[in-house]
Structure 1
Amino acid sequence: VNLKYLASGNSVRTLAFHYRMGESTVAKAIKDTCAAINRRMMDTHLARPTEQEWRNIASKFSTRWNFPNCIGAIDGKHILLFAPPHSGSLYFNYKKTFSVVLLAVVDAEYRFRLVHIGEYGRSSDGGVFAGSAIGQALDAKKLEVPDDQQLPGAEHLGNMPFTIVGDAAFPLKTYVMRPYPGRDISTQQRIFNYRLSRARNVVENAFIILSSRWRILHSRINIHPDKINSLILSACLLHNFLLKPMEVERWLNTSAPTTGSMESISTAGGPRGAREAYTVRDKFCSFFNSEGHVSWQNEMV
């Protein structure tokens, strides 16, 4: 029943009629099964990466997406729901629908590595990130991210931090790279934006695969926000469990307050300087226009 509910997007009433069960029985089965999935699969399919796993992720980003020292791509996805009673505009988002936000960090193979689920739909991606355990743990250096290392063949740039790539909605940090803003930017900066966008697309593709497989995420979900977090987390866990490299192209071609293992992370720590973040971005820009050049990038800008 639970897998049918996630995969088909049918309502509880439709499933109850199909299986000749009571609506309350189906609803309880979905709730209990999601809780069991989350309890049994969290440690094996969405555990917080170790330092060596971060290095492996960075190696794959460098090989597949030509962005070294990248440990993930981050973005937010709005999960639609019916307007909760007495919630006012808390869940009302910029698309004029009601939703909760799934914030995710995805690796180079479209697997979810860190998730933060359940923020109000009215919140921006940057605001969700700043208040999430993910953002606070990165700020406080609690995620076992490896120490800075040199970019390939660019010893003159010195050691560079490992970073996550995101779009313009996220703040520029030494551990979060965002594009250069505006239209009046140099060719070199446009190339950096292209290279960052190319790496960042993995999180967009992961969301496409997730919602194509679990079609409940394509429709408005008739569940109270207090219970929807468990369902979304189950979908992410099952996505990681089922995803195989050979399936990725097939899915992409046919589609056009809980954080799992992050709960125990302390929020202590302070921000790293904005000036240092600008310097890191400029060094990446210099690298992509020299030692890290790829043959097709000029044609793309």
Structure 2
Amino acid sequence: MKEIKKLNRNEIIVSIFILTYNQEQYIAQTIESILNQKTNFSFQLVIGEDCSTDRTRVVCEEFARNYGDKIKLLTSPEKNIGLIANYIRTIKECDGKYIAICDGDDYWIDPLKLQKQVDFLENNSEYSIVHTALKFLAPNGDFTVFLDSDNLNYNEFNNLIYSNFIFSVTALFRNVQFHEQLPHWVDQYPYGDWPTYLWTIKDGGKIHYIEDITAVYRKDIGVSYKLKDWYTEDLKIRKNILNDIHFKKYKQIVSKCIFEKECDLLMTFNRDKKFKESFKLFIELLKKEKGKLSLTRLYLYSLKKSFLN
């Protein structure tokens, strides 16, 4: 049997981490799309396989046997540990200078994706994240190109704190966890990519957008599709950031963002006839907001609009 030589940590430029659970029908395409990358540097796949009940693990093990020099397979031997626990243990095992993400139901279509992104970050030290355009794949098989030119102007923390406009399947970012582990509060939430991006650029790193289509994101499947409370989860993440000393210099913009998002939530509650939740949030905002008159007008306006509809 041929001996497989593992890459040394200092040889790895990019670690691609894949989270997978019960994705038997997709995972081979995902892994193959990564192995087909054409680069002038070494990369590794770190696969977090979370005790699937179908053949996902079997497929991953076969790839690991055939590409043991590139693949590090992490398994959950006894039970499913859940998305965020799998995320945290897998990202900790990434040895590369840079990290890329490709979930087990997505895949890459540009064989030069990694090379383009690494070339950019190597030549632009002020940037910490680079992402690209992509295609959406609907359950019925239809593709839709998503090319958002506005992303060319969204290049810093003050933009990203308002909305996660980075699709993880397109992202490449600096592996800052070598010297600073992700904050402890990340494991409280059902997803880790957005907090990771914010953590990566907290010291001023910028975000770059490439208008090349490099990947395919499957819509309306998976955990993110099933998550109904993402808006309130995002608010909780922002509040953790507000109270985290590492983000101290962004305190003003984070506070402003939280208030605006809570006002949006208040209006959403009224629109959905959740008047009790809306009133409770209104009282909470009154206690801490100086502009009580404008807040009251907003609340009454959304309440009136809800009744008229």
TM-score (norm 2): 0.21
Larger RCO (CA under 8 A, 6+ residues apart): 1
TM-score (norm 1): 0.21
Name whichever structure is richer in strand by fraction. Answer: 2
Q: Max radius of gyration: which structure?
A: 2
